């Protein structure tokens, strides 16, 4: 599968003849890319300056693009910009004041001496911090950089662009002020203690990109000790959206969740959470695979979380290969690695099979291949239908928790969130290419928030 993941804008001075002939476009296509825009910056009889924007995959693309363009006669590249790097210059976040401070009176109200009265009020009744500070609308996005996207342990500094992006999504979709907190430690005790120490300044904690199995313990301990909502999005955000999509896919092919035979590839944070929530929603037959094969009670596990998962799943005691487990299965859910199954494997699944190949950027099977035999196909990618994207879940979940003042995110809360997402897709809208709403559907976050608030305050 080709993945045009890199966008470049090249400022090029060339002749009007080159511009008209399409030779610039041919340079890009010869490199395996596509032109997405060509804008004239300056034009005269002798030459023209263009901004050529294109998508190209591969390594060292900026150098190759510049060399290929310069190789044209009477053409000079002034500079090549990676547009992704460009928008990250200086970061993606800023702080803005919500009250004016343009004169002495306004300053005295917002800061000293007026602010002292507010401090004393909170000291007398700490619960007023939700009323008188940003706490009621603020989430810390916390990571140790140990599992950044699918790239592995990149460290805290390299995790910051992702954490900033997460914070920006909180603001865009739920009007929540979130802030990235990257911790320079992989020690569970230190992570837990650091979050406990900063918790007074936040209304919620979103754990992000912390590797398994440490993420399970971090989340458990923080939920036990903090009185604000805590959620590891890689686990529960993924689980909520998968459940929502599966409910609608099953509705489309007219199968009950309780009757589905599901094969899950991936027993890490996402796989374990997805499995648990599907079972909470009524699924009874899930076979989970890790890199060593199917999880079953005949195996010995060093990881207690995997041992527990083996006890709760695989009622038919499947112990063969992944391909063998897919024979007669209704659903495949992949949260593991690219190119794991084939169209031939899917051909042996049950009629009207459902494929969720969620490894990113390259899924467990090419969606085009999967569609040869599957009735419904979903991926984690934005360039194919049915994108399973956590942004459908976490903004609304935290919006509902913050608004309700509740702090315990139960499985019932997560199921309620999944039901709300699924219900956004009406019977009239439902089809094989639309089992999950768009991330830009403005109705999703409010629906999730309302459902979460109701479930959390029961």
Question: If you average pLDDT over residues 232-239, what whole number do you get?
Answer: 93
**In whole angstroms, how large is the CA radius of gyration of the chain?**
25
**Residue for token digits 């702080």?**
95
Q: Which residue has the higher pLDDT, 426 or 152?
A: 426
- Specify burial of residue 373 (Cβ count, 10 A radius: 0-12, 13-18, 19+): middle
Given a cut of 50, is residue 205 above it in pLDDT?
Answer: yes
User: How many beta carbons lie within 10 A of that of residue 68, not counting itself?
Assistant: 18
| Catalytically active residues, by annotation | 111, 166
Confidence (pLDDT) at 369: 94
Would the pLDDT of 277 be above 70? yes
pLDDT digits (tens, 9 = 90+) for 296-348: 988 888 888 889 999 999 999 999 899 999 999 999 999 998 999 999 999 99
CB-based contacts of 343, cutoff 8 Å, min separation 6: 365, 369, 370, 372, 373
Give the global pTM. 0.86
Fold matches, 6-87 and 135-228:
no
What gap in Å lies between CA 394 and CA 161, rounded to an integer? Answer: 18
Residues 6+ apart with CB under 8 A from 421: 240, 241, 244, 392, 393, 436, 437, 444, 447, 448
- Find the mean pLDDT for residues 228-248: 96
**Two structure tokens written together for 303:** 């990881």
User: What CA–CA distance (Å, rounded) separates 253 from 372?
Assistant: 16
Both tokens of 101, joined, read 């401070």
Q: What's the CA gap between 430 and 412, in Å, rounded?
A: 25
Does the pLDDT of residue 150 top 80, yes or no? no
According to CATH, the superfamily of the domain at 6-87 is: ACT domain (3.30.70.260)
Q: Where are the domains of the chain?
A: 6-87, 135-228, 234-458
Nearest one of 172, 274, 174, 247 to 425, comparing CA atoms = 247
Query: Residue 129 in contact with residue 176, Cβ under 8 Å?
Result: no
Helix (H, G, I), strand (E, B) or coil at 137: helix
Residue 5 has pLDDT above 60, yes or no: no
Q: Strand 230-232's sheet: what is its strand order? A: 177-182, 138-143, 204-207, 230-232
Q: Tell me the pLDDT of the chain averaged across its residues.
A: 91
pLDDT, tens digit, 9 for 90 and up, residues 347-397? 999 999 999 999 887 899 999 999 999 999 999 988 788 999 999 999 999
DSSP annotation string for 49-100: EEEEEEEE-SSSHHHHHHHHHHTSTT-EEEEEEEHHHHHTTT-S-----SS-
What dotted CATH number matches 135-228?
3.40.50.10380
Q: How far apart are CA 427 and CA 430, in angstroms?
A: 5
What's 234-458's CATH class?
A: alpha beta
| pLDDT of 46 strictly over 90 | no
pLDDT of 18 reads 67
């Amino acid at each position: 599968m080709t993945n045009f993941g890199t966008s470049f804008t090249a400022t090029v001075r060339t002749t009007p003849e080159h511009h008209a002939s399409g030779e610039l476009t041919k340079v890009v296509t010869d490199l395996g890319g596509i032109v997405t825009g060509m804008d004239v910056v300056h034009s005269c009889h002798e030459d023209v300056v263009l901004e050529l924007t294109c998508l190209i995959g591969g390594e060292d693309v900026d150098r190759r693009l510049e060399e290929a363009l310069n190789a044209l006669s009477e053409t000079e590249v002034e500079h090549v910009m990676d547009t992704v790097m460009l928008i990250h210059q200086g970061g993606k976040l800023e702080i803005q004041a919500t009250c004016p401070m343009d004169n002495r009176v306004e300053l005295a109200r917002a800061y000293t001496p007026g602010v002292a009265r507010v401090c004393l009020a909170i000291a007398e009744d700490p619960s007023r911090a939700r009323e008188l500070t940003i706490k009621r609308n603020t989430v810390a996005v916390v990571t140790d950089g140990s599992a950044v996207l699918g790239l592995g342990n990149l460290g805290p500094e390299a995790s910051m662009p992702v954490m900033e992006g997460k914070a920006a999504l909180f603001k865009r979709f739920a009007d929540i002020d979130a802030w990235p907190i990257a911790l320079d430690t992989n020690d569970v005790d230190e992570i837990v203690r650091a979050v406990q120490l900063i918790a007074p300044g936040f209304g919620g904690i979103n754990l992000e990109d912390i590797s398994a199995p440490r993420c399970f313990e971090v989340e458990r301990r923080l939920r036990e000790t903090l009185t604000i909502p805590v959620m590891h999005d890689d686990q529960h955000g993924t689980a909520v959206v998968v459940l929502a999509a599966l409910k609608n896919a099953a509705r489309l092919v007219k199968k009950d969740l309780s009757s589905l035979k599901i094969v899950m590839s991936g027993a890490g944070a996402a796989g374990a959470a997805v499995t648990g929530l599907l079972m909470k929603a009524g699924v009874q037959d899930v076979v989970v695979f890790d890199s060593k094969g199917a999880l079953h009670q005949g195996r010995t596990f060093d990881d207690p979380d995997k041992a527990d998962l083996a006890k709760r799943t695989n009622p038919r005691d499947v112990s063969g290969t992944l391909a063998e487990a897919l024979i007669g299965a209704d659903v495949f859910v992949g949260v593991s690695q690219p190119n794991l199954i084939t169209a031939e494997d899917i051909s042996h699944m049950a009629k009207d099979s459902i494929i969720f190949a969620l490894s990113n950027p390259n899924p467990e099977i090419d969606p085009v291949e999967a569609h040869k035999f599957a009735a419904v196909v979903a991926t984690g990618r934005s360039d194919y239908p049915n994108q399973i994207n956590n942004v459908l879940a976490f903004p609304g979940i935290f919006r509902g928790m913050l608004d309700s003042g509740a702090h315990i995110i139960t499985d019932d809360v997560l199921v309620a969130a999944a039901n709300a997402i699924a219900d956004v897709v009406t019977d009239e809208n439902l089809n094989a290419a639309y089992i999950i709403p768009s991330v830009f559907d403005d109705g999703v976050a409010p629906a999730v928030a309302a459902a979460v608030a109701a479930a959390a305050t029961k």
